[in-house]
Structure 1
């Protein structure tokens, strides 16, 4: 919902305005720049909670400064419990809580966030990322300037960079070196899955006077989110990507009819001649030349553009269910399903969540993912093989928990990725293959027109679990 960039060094003051401007899409409502002690800090705000004064960043207290990108759902409880200054801005609790309990603050926060808190001497930054790594945050340097940023495109180049780890890290602002101070602890829960997910959806609903979007593909995950949302927000606006005969559109229409949804927008596929420009825009938005990130990213990019045009700022999505509840593979119990599931979850910050966040924020849309709630994840971590997979299907626990929320044809629909179900992948694959080269080769050439980084860095191209399949995929490979 916001973008931040911090620069340290002699050249930082001359660069900060340009670097901050490159993140305007993440927060078009206001721009703030703070300069002092050799540190330049830029912030772009997308206003969702709190007025312009309450939400102005950086937050300042006792010489410390903080910039926070994200959402803290339990901020009112934290204000009461710890007697913090009253505020309508959820992220304003981060700095005073940090001053009370230092890195243990992450044990108290319920939400998604990436934040940097600077000490008064401006020699160190304490950086925070949420449990799943939903919001991006990088550290690196170029030509003697150390940086911390929400997106790499804020920088003209980099000698090196790394994604900051989930949890709390301390960054030396002279060298850029960092150490992990505290990791998130794994939680457990006794709450049934349907109760946990309903609670998760409710806490992610914006205020009643703010419009709400839901991205609906007709797949199990997004349909569950749509079904729950429809029970609490009659005014929610549902967005469906694909022409009328696409498999996703047909399935989504079944959900629309079953739930009697009223406010629905059908987002048509682009024309073939529009694909080159749209692919280029998606490469820039996602900072990637991985074919899967691009074709699925374009699907998200189109939905986000339509939502923004309709006046939406917050959209609910079904991301996270595949990784947590066993949606990608049909394993036998003898296969290494636990290791694969763990890697998929750990990689999300660089794969599906990176695709979601950057594709949505390119249109200033804040995507919220109820399946990634702390309590929902805790429930999923307690599932055994038979609750994830059986001989006929997967997502066993998820399908059982919401059996009365959806029609059978949706409840038992097999996974089809959004780019395939909408028809976007076919358009992208045909375009990228027209010169007889691989998708990666074509995408790398496009990527090089946008970025001046070292392209071999895994961040720009890797999807570890699926890369082998991606490189031989066709227009409809699932």
Structure 2
């Protein structure tokens, strides 16, 4: 628990019974430290959950569960009523476990995107479930737990997926859905709120909507005046009349080696893209934490859901590529976002990953993603009055390039060795595990390009 203290620095607690123990570290956002304490226990069941349930008050009222001060506390009593079907009622992002020690079973729940990590495996013969692998001294074997509901038999150690998420019934109004997705992710007014702003279409759209509901948001942007993001951010600041903006400077060259070690440890990865973009996220999260913030909004998910990475023709395998990118997000961009943010105890909320938005985008046809020389067609057309034209039509620029951070990391190429090889050596210093597992290095859709990359996009 001490090794993942960064995920929950506000409180920690342990439940144990027989040879089963359940520990939880808490980042307190809803409820006080006493009322919101986990693990929870009721009879033969004990539970612990990481994440945010946006509709917990509505669920408590609908099912007559009384008052709940903390959102994730509703999961155990609701599971006792609904069983695995609970995932069709929960609106939010989450991962966690419900232990039935009498039956020697553990039920594991993960949200529809796999936004919060959860792993299962064996360590020196003991079965473990954990949010981050760095919690373990030794790993015999491990796998990410399935999205949806799965069950682990503690006697045999087998995992069975019980239920997957269903598509959410939704309106066809993209504008309305994104507004609602942003609004539900705003914390209570007394909770400070940050927003990671790059000047790209996605984060700028979130800023344009969120700023209509709260005028006290603290915006964080990374890079120097020479970076392409800086000018774009200035345009957004002026257009939206944003008041509180922190420009986070790039680190010095002498700081880079230690920072890269921090990112490799935080993300548990030696993939060059996850590390360089993870460094950008890590620096923004550090600045947010220093400003006393726990919750930030980000633009993650728009590229995968709305076709932002590619420019396809109708005969290209665009559906397959989109499906693969979304399926892999839990190991790529969401893994980078969660672990680099949680390294500083920052909860990142992503309106574009709302279940209803995903269901709507899953129904889109080619023309709503791509046209002659444009991608993200539906986003650009649905929100054309929200942002200046230069931002609305801005092409995808990854955060590490737009901020200038990638140019500081690709210098790892030396002595005829690749970035990946250099990063793997750093990784091995921190993790006594088998480095060949795909989780530690793979970014399936882009690895061929990542290994050839330079300081800028090609």
Counterpart position of 1:451 = 431
- 1:325 to 2:270 alignment: no
Q: 1:160 aligns with which of 138, 141, 162?
A: 141
Q: Which runs of 4+ in 1 moved over 4 A?
A: none
Which of 396, 419, 425 aligns to 1:415? It is: 396
The offset of 1:122, in angstroms, is: 6.1
Q: How much has 1:174 moved relative to structure 2?
A: 3.2
Matched, 1:138 2:84: no
The question of 1:71 aligning with 2:46 is answered no
Find the aligned partners of 2:228 and 2:427 in 1 and give their Cα distance: 31
Contact 2:17 2:101 in 1 (8 A): no
Preserved contact between residue 389 and residue 395 of structure 1 (Cα < 8 Å): yes
**Is the 1:188–1:382 Cα contact (8 Å) retained in structure 2?**
no
Describe how 1:340-355 pairs up with structure 2 within 5 A.
340-355=321-336
Q: Give the TM-score taking structure 2 as reference length.
A: 0.99
Structure 2 residue 263 is matched with structure 1 residue 287: no
- 2:219 aligned counterpart, secondary structure: strand
Residues 240-263 of structure 1: CA distance to partner in whole angstroms, max 9, x if unpaired?
Answer: 100122101110111001111000
* SS of residue in 2 equivalent to 1:447: helix
1:218 to 179, 199, 211: 199
1:42 aligns with 2:23: yes
Give the match for residue 212 of structure 2.
Answer: 231
* Residue equivalent to 1:54: 35
Distance 1:159 1:323 in 2: 33
What's the secondary structure of 1:420's corresponding residue? helix
Give the C-alpha shift of residue 176 in structure 1. 2.7
Query: CA offset at residue 191 of structure 1?
Result: 4.0
Q: Distance in 2 between matches of 1:176 and 1:58?
A: 22
Q: Tell me whether 1:263 sits opposite 2:244 in the alignment.
A: yes
Alignment root-mean-square deviation, CA: 0.9
| Distance in 1 between residues matched to 2:271 and 2:431, nearest whole Å | 15
The correspondence for 1:203, drawn from 176, 184, 195, is: 184
CA distance in 1, matches of 2:136, 2:155: 18
**In 1, distance between residues paired with 2:245 and 2:401?**
21
Structure 2: how far apart are the matches of 1:176 and 1:420? 44
Of the candidates 443, 450, 453, which is equivalent to residue 463 of structure 1? Answer: 443
Verify: 1:358 aligned to 2:339, yes or no: yes
Which blocks of at least 5 consecutive residues in structure 2 are unaligned?
A: none
Distance in 1 (CA, whole Å) between partners of 2:362 and 2:23 is: 38
> What residue number does 1:439 align with?
419
Match of 1:148 in 2: 129
* Paired residue secondary structure (1:22): helix
TM-score (norm 1): 0.95
The structural deviation recorded for 1:331 is 0.6
Distance 1:137 1:175 in 2: 20
Superposed displacement of residue 35, structure 1: 2.2
